[in-house]
Structure 1
């Protein structure tokens, strides 16, 4: 950055840049830096200077907090703990002509809340040249003025202070006037022209000289103006003010056109030489926007809005000039008195949301900062919250309050709190402001299921069929209507499928599940799904009856057809001894002394038995017999038949049937 060919970085290092660290009690720290440092420049390591653990800066939300409506001129590097310049600092814009320029802000850390006050003193550098109020300075000198007469000229103004302000003046070489630099009580420098040779208006009516103002910086900065000297007839008296300094105090809410102060100067001369006019010779840009001077009456009036919080003191100089250019000046100091025109400002710095319902009383859930830009009583603030909530504000550090719980929370009773924080200042009349904080309570599993009865009794007949309902038990969970920090909002589907699981405490544990179709509505009668379900249930019952009837009739008809076909088939196959794929049921009582159908025993009964075997009976050990009266054998005869004999008797059509001896 450069100003008029002047290198600010070079000046910073030539300025013998230093960082002065002063440890003050209770964790306060102070640094000193020159103005116009580059953004990102390191002011100092605040973590080391305060003995803080830089590794926890991020977790503790370390930050720089400034006053309301203040720019953030500094910031903190969370990785290194360095305090760095965040924005260009112009001492002149911040403090004007004040000898001391100090920025104050705070380092805040949380968990636990910790606050450190930081003071940053801004030192002036020579970054502003001297400037004359006018590029042309007109001076009128009577031709009768004697050698050694002094004529004061407009002084140059330098926004810098101390050694960097105006220190000397230089005048272009000429035969009549020389320059003398004078010092004022407030440390300022002004120039006087000293007449070294009498003027002769007939010889030379005017002079044009270059006047240069120099400051004390290194290197020096300069400002120039042209002095026009007009030679006049005799005017030997300059205006004289009634006061050297005019003081005035007005409230910051003074209306427009209010007369703040009236300056007055008199001139002993007569006529044009005694006519006095006034003008402001040295006034800041902010003062120009709010005050104006009447050139003939000397009244200073309010022409713009005043704000005590922006600027509380204005200083200016008023010049009195007679008709032929003799001048004198006086200082005017205007002070503003504060009125209660700023309500308290409430800032939510931190909030733990949601909070579990089992937090113990006294738990900190948020941090509130309250500030009022007014001064004295107008800036003193009382902060409180409304009654009826289990929370309170506890004063912490300076203007900080902790929002803490005061009672046991129960989400099933109240799941959300809308906390209104109010702040009122001590002004007259007092001003108030409020801020709402929405705090949700998080659920924890603190409510067991509860049966609607302690004992259930039921009875049923001993021959009740399976799946008969014996008794119905109900469990309820302690839930508030708002629970359904909740489960189903307006944007959710009105129909939900739920899976319900029940598990016992046996070893091993057994469980069962079922599906639930859930409809959610304020008016169940208007739910389309419920209407369809009702119609579906009615139709389903009717359909079930129809299906049962149809199945019954069909079963009866099929059974009848099967019986008819079976009877006819049995009659057709009755001469045969063997049936393919059938198992015969004994047609008569089988006596104890039955015949073994293997060809080696004798039949001791008066009945013969036919064997009805399936095609796969070759591998079976079972023997199925029945009586057959047509081919009875005498009891004393032996059945001697080979398998082939049976096959011959039954014919070729029964090749697939087999008999086991």
Structure 2
């Protein structure tokens, strides 16, 4: 963190540290630890739990983590044991260069409560680098009249190690002319000087070669060598002289390459070659040599690489001037690098949570710190987020900030937030950094499934195939994930008599409804039940919807003839007097149909007749009547086939066979027939036997019915005076025919035999055997008043 860096939320400038519920921010004293460089990865540094006075599992519970100032993970915290370990091999020379001691600064962050501990790690040097000379050979030109004791400064060697492992001494191979003298520089480093012990004589020896050795203080010591080649020159008694010993200049860090930084100048009072001066960098580090270049003829110092105030704030450049005779002089150029606002602020995330439950209270989402590598106003910062978000940005210790929610969120209103954290400095021009965070609101099961309709009406045609898909219900849940996964089920019916489990089933995943068995409209016209939809949240939420199933009628019932009943016994024979007029009611065919609607609309027609044109059937009532007057020529016995047909699609039908006997009168049914009739009777004795049998059975049955009715229903005196049928009030006896249907006889029909006084034998008819009650299968028909019809036989139709 840069010194003097300030950061506060927009429109909420703060000059103090916020303390808020649930988070404790504390700064402890600095912890100091050390480790030797090049130690293997995973090496033990210290047990932080013991050093900080924490329990064994407290580091795990509080989510302890290590944050480095340079945002590099040099150290690793084993939260289970509390040990602080190295995360990589540490190279002191790469980390700190020549700076000694080499310190790495880091913080230990813990949550619940939130605390920050500052600590530093010293990387101890080992002797892993040998001294090195920049040049393998150095040429030194010395005048032959150089006085004894003259010292010549030599370029020093460089050793990446520091302290005792750095260069401690220089030696030279034994010779008669020179020895090495060790001197200290202003920077606290030593450099070698070659001291002349004996006068030189160029005529005897014009060149010498010496080996200079640099030794460091390691154990064992390391060394490096270079060759000093000494060229003995003729006399040049004046060395160059700089106009200034020290030059001072300033250069902005955004200076382009090739910019003129400074200009040095030296003069020599000699003449000729001995006065020709050339300039060069002297005893310059690699960094200086790559950053600056001096023109050997003009002394102009130009920039060869970009400057960076944040890396190097100043340079000290040594310039050497050499004349043609080999004499030299040096000066120093001090370059101060001026800071400009060229570094945008940095935002370093220390802790981040991408998810937050929608019903959570104030929750910490991110912990981060900001820094700016610039200085002064360029390094002061502001930090803020948009005001219309349900989040707070709270400053903390040492430019740390905490991003947290203001309160509970609603995922159904907004499931995701894009938060832009903006950090801007106060430099000119202002630079800013933006960091985008995406926070997903995790779902909580707070919405029950909702059906698309409160009630569903489904229709299914009867006689359906089992497992038929009859419809679907649908419910949606505004939640997500398992909380939005809806399962469907059938709820227990309100009517305990309804066998719902055997009628329908539901697909738990899709809501599709299926008929389990074939439905019969005549047995069950409609039913309803409730369907439940539940999500898979914890706890699960549910809702209900009403489903009505209407069974659509199909024409699956043929008409059933109630009268005359075709039961395979003796055929039905009707007696018609020959004196009957046209339109005489012979009998009435009574039929019902178990279906409903147009499927139960019945129509009657005469399909076959022994003598066409003699009888007719009314299409809607089923009454069989004479179509004309009877004559003596008409046959005695007639066979009629009546077809009963419904109005379904396709239509279904039934037929009934009627036998009609033409007689002269009911009182003399067995008198000798006319000649033609006698001849026919003789020709067909079976017909005569049939007529006699039918008359006997009918008489016996009629007598039984009369006795029953007289005892149970009629008062004899009223019957005698009125000459009609006496029927008791209230419901008919249970032995009478009761037909409930949905056909042409849409109501209950009850038949009772009534005789009138003076009717005579010619008015006597008999009732066919009573059939069992037939109860219609439709349970939804209403009882209505039953109209009463009387035919010529004296039968009541109700």
The TM-score bracket by the shorter chain reads: 0.5 to 0.7
Q: 1:550 aligns with which of 555, 568, 572?
A: 555
Cα deviation, residue 171, structure 1: 1.8
The yes-or-no answer on 1:255 pairing with 2:244 is no
| Higher relative contact order, structure no. (Cα contacts within 8 Å, ≥ 6 residues apart) | 2
Task: Tell me the SS of whatever aligns to 2:310.
Answer: coil
1:74–1:444 distance in 2 versus 1, CA, 3 Å = closer
After superposition, the C-alpha distances for 1:114-170 in whole angstroms (9 at most, x for unaligned) are 221121223333332222221111112222223333333322233333333333222
Distance in 2 (CA, whole Å) between partners of 1:347 and 1:567 is: 106
Cα deviation, residue 590, structure 1: 6.5
Match of 2:392 in 1: 392
The yes-or-no answer on 1:418 pairing with 2:418 is yes
Q: RMSD of the alignment, in Å?
A: 4.3
The answer to whether the 8 A contact 1:150-1:195 is kept is yes
The answer to whether the 8 A contact 1:497-1:516 is kept is no
Task: Tell me the SS of whatever aligns to 1:301.
Answer: strand
After superposition, the C-alpha distances for 1:322-346 in whole angstroms (9 at most, x for unaligned) are 3233334344443433222222233
After superposition, the C-alpha distances for 1:27-46 in whole angstroms (9 at most, x for unaligned) are 42112334333322222222
Cα deviation, residue 386, structure 1: 0.7
Distance in 2 (CA, whole Å) between partners of 1:322 and 1:369 is: 57
Match of 1:33 in 2: 35
Distance in 1 (CA, whole Å) between partners of 2:172 and 2:487 is: 98
Match of 2:467 in 1: none
Distance in 2 (CA, whole Å) between partners of 1:368 and 1:25 is: 16
The answer to whether the 8 A contact 1:273-1:323 is kept is yes
Distance in 1 (CA, whole Å) between partners of 2:147 and 2:140 is: 16
Cα deviation, residue 208, structure 1: 1.4
The answer to whether the 8 A contact 1:419-1:439 is kept is yes
Task: Tell me the SS of whatever aligns to 1:79.
Answer: coil
The answer to whether the 8 A contact 2:564-2:572 is kept is no
Q: Which has the larger radius of gyration?
A: 2
1:565–1:386 distance in 2 versus 1, CA, 3 Å = same
Task: Tell me the SS of whatever aligns to 1:288.
Answer: helix
Match of 2:169 in 1: 168
Distance in 2 (CA, whole Å) between partners of 1:402 and 1:46 is: 24
Distance in 2 (CA, whole Å) between partners of 1:515 and 1:203 is: 119
Cα deviation, residue 591, structure 1: 11
Cα deviation, residue 88, structure 1: 2.8
1:348–1:206 distance in 2 versus 1, CA, 3 Å = closer
1:367–1:96 distance in 2 versus 1, CA, 3 Å = closer
Match of 1:563 in 2: 565
Match of 1:438 in 2: 438
1:514–1:412 distance in 2 versus 1, CA, 3 Å = farther
Distance in 2 (CA, whole Å) between partners of 1:547 and 1:405 is: 59
Distance in 2 (CA, whole Å) between partners of 1:363 and 1:228 is: 74
After superposition, the C-alpha distances for 1:406-441 in whole angstroms (9 at most, x for unaligned) are 355344444433322222112211112223333333
After superposition, the C-alpha distances for 1:82-119 in whole angstroms (9 at most, x for unaligned) are 22222233333333333433211222222332221121
Structure 1: gaps of 5 or more residues: 1-23, 452-476, 506-510, 521-528, 530-543, 577-585, 594-661
The answer to whether the 8 A contact 2:144-2:234 is kept is yes
Cα deviation, residue 444, structure 1: 4.2
TM-score (norm 1): 0.65
1:436–1:330 distance in 2 versus 1, CA, 3 Å = same
Distance in 2 (CA, whole Å) between partners of 1:546 and 1:181 is: 116
The answer to whether the 8 A contact 2:265-2:299 is kept is yes
Match of 2:364 in 1: 364
The yes-or-no answer on 1:210 pairing with 2:215 is no
Distance in 2 (CA, whole Å) between partners of 1:342 and 1:87 is: 29
Distance in 1 (CA, whole Å) between partners of 2:254 and 2:101 is: 28
Task: Tell me the SS of whatever aligns to 1:163.
Answer: helix
Task: Tell me the SS of whatever aligns to 1:131.
Answer: coil
Equivalent runs, 1:488-637 vs 2, <5 Å: 499=488, 548=553, 550-551=555-556, 554-556=557-559, 559=561, 563-568=565-570, 589=707
The answer to whether the 8 A contact 1:497-1:515 is kept is no
Cα deviation, residue 320, structure 1: 2.8
The answer to whether the 8 A contact 2:352-2:366 is kept is yes
Match of 1:90 in 2: 91
Distance in 2 (CA, whole Å) between partners of 1:311 and 1:503 is: 83
Structure 2: gaps of 5 or more residues: 1-25, 452-474, 495-499, 513-548, 574-689, 695-703, 712-798
Task: Tell me the SS of whatever aligns to 1:61.
Answer: coil
Cα deviation, residue 265, structure 1: 3.6
Cα deviation, residue 393, structure 1: 0.5
The answer to whether the 8 A contact 1:440-1:485 is kept is no
The answer to whether the 8 A contact 1:365-1:404 is kept is yes
Cα deviation, residue 48, structure 1: 1.6
TM-score (norm 2): 0.54
Match of 1:304 in 2: 305
Distance in 1 (CA, whole Å) between partners of 2:563 and 2:132 is: 128
Which has more helix, going by share of residues?
1
After superposition, the C-alpha distances for 1:190-226 in whole angstroms (9 at most, x for unaligned) are 2233333322222211111212222233322221111
Equivalent residue pairs, number: 495
Match of 2:454 in 1: none
1:80–1:99 distance in 2 versus 1, CA, 3 Å = same
